[in-house]
Every structure is written in C-alpha cells, then in structure tokens.
C-alpha cells in the first residue's frame, strides 16, 4: 500500500512538472512592447535579464524638482542676457518659461505633500531592468544589447532606452497629477 501511495505521489509530481510553465511577467511585458514597436515578431529570445534599480515616487519627485530648478535658472540667466542685448521678445519668452517652471515646482510640491500624507513617497514607481536578446521578424533578426527598460509593479512598460537615464525619463508620467502640470 505504501509503495502505491509513493508511486502515485511521484506520478502526480511528474505530471505537474510537465504542465505549462508560468511565463515571466517581466519578459512578457518587454516582449509585448518590443512587438508593438517593431511589428510582428515570431520569437523573442532573452540572453540576459536583470533587475538593476528601482525608483520610488519620492525619488522621482526629487529628480523632477532638480530638473525644473536647473531649467528655471537657465531661463532666468538667458532672460538677463537677452535683456542686456535689447532682445525684448526673447527676454519675455524666457521670463515666461521661468514663471511656468515656478508654477510647476509649486504644483510638484503640492503633489509631494499629498503623497506624503498618504505615505506613498516610498512606494516603488518603477523597476529598472537591463536586458539583451533578439527578436525574429519576417524581415530578419533584431538584436538588443544592454537595453534598459522601466516597468511598473503592475508590469506595464513605461520606457525603453539604451541608457538607464532614458528609461527613467518616462517614469515621471507615473506620478499622480504630474502630467497636468504641463498642460
């Protein structure tokens, strides 16, 4: 009897391992994005895929704040140069750009306060993966070497680039209310 039970358990384990394996959701998301960008693919092969970083809402807000502050200072500096050169229209345009950046900084602070009140600043906004591989299309093979991709915790690809910073740039749109600052 004991032998039959052990044989039955072994058979069940063997059959379970022969079943369809769960597809990696990160690979599936990247594959879908690649197919979307390059067209119909027959096969996508990953030679490497590694998690290299993540970014939280708080980190991304800080990154966006720094960018806006630098841009605002540059616009004010250019406005001063245009003023000195007597280029009134250019000066006005740069002062307007600087004023818009100041409004965006204030809006970003409001978003940050709202997220802080909900304990959401430390929530992961996106994971950054680095991958290499290839995709077969009807036209031939497309190779991807050391490409970075930002993916939400819900496995939505938000950016792909050959530089890590490029993959991070797209992640800013995930900050709740951020894109409305630019409308």
| Closest by Cα among 76, 57, 77, 53 to 124 | 57
Residue 74's contacts (CB-CB under 8 Å, 6 or more residues apart) are none
Q: Are residues 105 and 131 in the same domain?
A: no
Provide the percentage of residues in the chain whose pLDDT is more than 90.
Answer: 61
Q: Using CA atoms, how far apart are residues 178 and 98, in angstroms rounded to an integer?
A: 18
Show which of 117, 148, 164 is a domain's final residue: 117
Q: Using CA atoms, how far apart are residues 116 and 182, in angstroms rounded to an integer?
A: 22
- Count how many domains the chain has: 2
Q: Are residues 51 and 62 in the same domain?
A: no
The string of pLDDT tens digits covering residues 93-126 is: 999 999 999 999 999 999 999 999 999 999 999 9
Three-state secondary structure call for residue 123: coil
Q: Are residues 81 and 30 in the same domain?
A: no
The string of pLDDT tens digits covering residues 125-174 is: 999 999 999 988 888 888 889 999 999 999 999 989 999 888 888 777 78
pTM (2 decimals)?
Answer: 0.75
Q: What is the pLDDT of residue 21?
A: 58
Q: Using CA atoms, how far apart are residues 81 and 87, in angstroms rounded to an integer?
A: 9
Show which of 94, 117, 140 is a domain's final residue: 117
Q: Are residues 51 and 128 in the same domain?
A: yes
């Amino acid at each position: 009897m004991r032998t039959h039970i052990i044989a039955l358990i072994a058979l069940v384990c063997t059959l379970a391992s022969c079943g369809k394996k769960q597809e990696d959701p990160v690979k599936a998301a990247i594959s879908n994005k690649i197919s979307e960008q390059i067209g119909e693919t027959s096969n996508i092969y990953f030679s490497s895929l590694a998690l290299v970083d993540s970014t939280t809402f708080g980190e991304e807000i800080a990154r966006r704040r720094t960018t806006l502050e630098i841009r605002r200072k540059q616009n004010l500096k250019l406005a001063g140069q245009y003023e000195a050169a007597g280029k009134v229209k250019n000066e006005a345009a740069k002062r307007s750009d600087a004023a818009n950046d100041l409004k965006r900084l204030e809006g970003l602070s409001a978003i940050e306060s709202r997220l802080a009140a909900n304990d959401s600043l430390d929530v992961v906004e996106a994971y950054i993966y680095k991958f290499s591989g290839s995709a077969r299309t009807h036209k031939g093979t497309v190779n991807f070497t050391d490409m970075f991709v930002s993916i939400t915790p819900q496995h939505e690809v938000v950016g792909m680039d050959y530089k890590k910073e490029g993959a991070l740039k797209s992640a800013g749109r995930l900050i709740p209310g951020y894109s409305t600052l630019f409308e």
